[in-house]
């Protein structure tokens, strides 16, 4: 990865942090996307102390203004983007709104991913061999796109919002691959992993998760593989469960839904 520039969102903890560590060790220049600049800077310091190349990019993927600022700064400072890892994600117990008024899970896990990819697409297109890794989840299998209530104003549950957002990530990745064959894009379930994402659970369940699930370094393995392998370009638009290229849920294979979601996202992001 020497000479490659990689941007990872949500690189301050869990799978994103371990992916950043692993890719920096492989020689990449790693841009740490962090909503908390203090924690982001401490990741950068850690990597630099090991002689690796890293820098901070402050970005809140739930805020379209923050995404726009971060993408502009990135493009001003970097002539290339080899890998965009859209990793930042949440499960939110209670329904709340992003700074732009979108339901927070939808804004963070889906709209932010789309907005950042759109903003950096010219740079990705200008970088030979670039690719996008969208961190999805096997939770998409229980997801349903609620076309009449995408932001779940009714019957909200944290899991319902999460599963829908990850199904949307898979559909959008599939449609992106059709529309942009020159930039491979993959959706990946990193495995069920012990990270802060489970802080939404009651404390006894969090303790159990910490004991039984594998550590974040294991969740980074499939992401690093998709970020670095040369033999997967023909799998653009596919869903990976860990290292395996597998069929996602049937709902993630509906081309009409993929197009509809694409159009919805274009409208939602150009309306602001
Ligand atoms: N852990 C699992 O079992 C599992 C399974 C399937 C998929 N995933 C996916 O893996 C990805 C990484 O999650 P994780 O498990 O590593 O959880 P995590 O430890 O909670 O890490 C999530 C990262 O996303 C960042 N983030 C959250 N909201 C953000 C925002 N608005 N703007 C910028 N960054 C934001 C967090 O920043 P802070 O540090 O500031 O909170 C953190 O760095 C997520 O997309 C998740 O859905 C995880």
For the record, the structure tokens of 240 come out as 């990976």
Average pLDDT over residues 258-270: 97
Q: What is the pLDDT of residues 212-253, one digit of tens each?
A: 999 999 999 999 999 999 999 899 999 999 999 999 999 999
Q: How far is the CA of 216 from the centre of ligand 1 (A)?
A: 11
For the record, the structure tokens of 63 come out as 């805020």
Angle of CA points 265, 89, 129, to nearest 5°: 70
So where are the chain's domains? 5-270
Q: Are 216 and 193 in contact (CB under 8 A)?
A: yes
pLDDT of residue 265: 98
Q: What is the pLDDT of residues 4-59, one digit of tens each?
A: 999 999 999 999 999 999 999 999 999 999 999 999 999 999 999 999 999 999 99
Is residue 197 in contact with ligand 1, taking CB distance under 6 Å? Answer: yes
Confidence of residue 169 (pLDDT cuts 50, 70, 90): very high
Rounded Cα distance, 112 and 67, in Å: 7
Q: Are 156 and 108 in contact (CB under 8 A)?
A: no
Give every CB contact of residue 38 below 8 A, 6+ residues apart in sequence.
none
DSSP class of 153: S
- 162 among known catalytic residues: yes
Count the alpha carbons within 13 Å of 193 in the hemisphere toward its beta carbon: 24
pLDDT of residue 271: 74
Confidence of residue 272 (pLDDT cuts 50, 70, 90): low
Q: What is the pLDDT of residues 52-101, one digit of tens each?
A: 999 999 999 999 999 999 999 999 999 999 999 999 999 999 999 999 99
Is residue 140 in contact with ligand 1, taking CB distance under 6 Å? Answer: no
Q: How far is the CA of 247 from the centre of ligand 1 (A)?
A: 24
Mean pLDDT of the chain: 97
Rounded Cα distance, 9 and 25, in Å: 18
Q: Are 253 and 150 in contact (CB under 8 A)?
A: no
Rounded Cα distance, 39 and 123, in Å: 27
**CATH class in words for 5-270:** alpha beta
Q: For the whole prediction, is pTM greater than 0.85?
A: yes
Q: What is the pLDDT of residues 107-134, one digit of tens each?
A: 999 999 999 999 999 999 999 999 999 9
């Amino acid at each position: 990865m020497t000479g490659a520039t990689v941007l990872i969102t949500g690189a301050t903890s869990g799978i994103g942090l371990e992916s950043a560590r692993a890719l920096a060790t492989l020689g990449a220049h790693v841009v740490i996307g962090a909503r908390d600049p203090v924690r982001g800077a401490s990741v950068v310091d850690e990597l630099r102390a090991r002689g690796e190349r890293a820098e901070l990019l402050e970005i809140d993927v739930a805020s379209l203004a923050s995404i726009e600022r971060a993408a502009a700064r990135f493009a001003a400072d970097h002539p290339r983007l080899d890998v965009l890892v859209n990793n930042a994600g949440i499960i939110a117990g209670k329904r709340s709104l992003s700074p732009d008024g979108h339901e927070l899970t939808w804004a963070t896990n889906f709209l932010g991913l789309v907005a950042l990819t759109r903003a950096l697409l010219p740079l990705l297109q200008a970088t030979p061999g670039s690719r996008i890794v969208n961190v999805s989840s096997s939770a998409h299998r229980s997801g349903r796109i609620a076309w009449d209530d995408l932001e779940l104003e009714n019957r909200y549950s944290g899991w319902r919002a999460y599963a829908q957002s990850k199904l949307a990530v898979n559909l959008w990745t599939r449609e992106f691959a059709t529309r942009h064959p020159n930039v491979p894009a993959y959706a990946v379930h990193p495995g069920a992993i012990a990270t802060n994402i489970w802080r939404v659970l009651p404390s006894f369940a969090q303790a159990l998760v910490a004991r039984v699930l594998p550590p974040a370094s294991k969740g980074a393995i499939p992401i690093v593989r998709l970020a670095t392998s040369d033999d997967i370009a023909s799998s653009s638009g596919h869903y990976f469960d860990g290292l395996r290229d597998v069929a996602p849920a049937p709902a993630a294979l509906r081309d009409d839904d993929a197009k509809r979601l694409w159009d919805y996202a274009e409208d939602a992001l150009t309306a602001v």
